[in-house]
Chains A and B, each alone.
Chain A
Amino acid sequence: EAGVAQSPRYKIIEKRQSVAFWCNPISGHATLYWYQQILGQGPKLLIQFQNNGVVDDSQLPKDRFSAERLKGVDSTLKIQPAKLEDSAVYLCASSLYNLAGRTGEQFFGPGTRLTVL
């Protein structure tokens, strides 16, 4: 079974530039998560999708961050414009969702390390 795919693995940009990250979850996983992980900290949830609908985006800085999952499969996360404090690893994860409402563990991608100069 293929894992969660993310690209690019590394990205370096100047502040005020734009950047986009891509994630392809494990086939059949309805729930997709984007996390921001600043060095030395635990992952912070940015946005959670159930199929192509947003479940939780309460911690997404909506003035500069956006995310979409148009067909309920892969997803993109965009930052426009980037700030120095956006330097972090952006993790994508996916999990199954069953009719009982109980889901299993999350499976994580390798992450995208963003450096904003």
Chain B
Amino acid sequence: AQTVTQSQPEMSVQEAETVTLSCTYDTSESDYYLFWYKQPPSRQMILVIRQEAYKQQNATENRFSVNFQKAAKSFSLKISDSQLGDAAMYFCAYRSLNTGNQFYFGTGTSLTVIP
């Protein structure tokens, strides 16, 4: 089974600054999806950004961007101009495109934004 590792249990950033959350994964597949999900204290998980493995270009969504390094199996999330509303748990997720299209989640990184 694929594994997803988030080595930073907690991170903090000053408001308006930039922060990078790390994620690595282990797989033998060549095609898959990667996601970053955000889970605010209200606990509803929402999608932040997604990346198809076959695309070399890094995904960007407004202040959120990823650094996808396929050979290194690394998928980090960069949050620019951090806002108080960015404070949440962030989960990296891997989606297999083989049988079952299963999702695998990391253990999460708790992001604190300091005013």
Contacts and interface: CB of A to CB of B under 8 A. Distances in A.
B46 to A, nearest CB: 7
Nearest to B101: A103
Contacts of B43: 89, 110-111, 113
Contacts of B75: none
30 contacts: A33-B103, A41-B108, A42-B4, A42-B91, A42-B105, A42-B108, A43-B105, A45-B102, A48-B100, A50-B100, A55-B102, A56-B102, A89-B43, A91-B45, A93-B45, A97-B101, A101-B97, A101-B101, A103-B95, A103-B101, A105-B35, A105-B47, A105-B50, A106-B47, A108-B44, A108-B46, A109-B44, A110-B42, A111-B43, A111-B44
A12 B101 CA distance: 33
B100 A56 contact: yes
A71 interface: no
Interface residues of B, number: 23
Contacts of B46: 108
Interface in A73-101: 89, 91, 93, 95, 97, 101
Contacts of B47: 105-107
A24 interface: no
Contacts of B22: none
Interface string B21-55: 00000000000010101000011111100100000
B107 interface: yes
Contact of A45 (B4, B35, B50, B103): B103
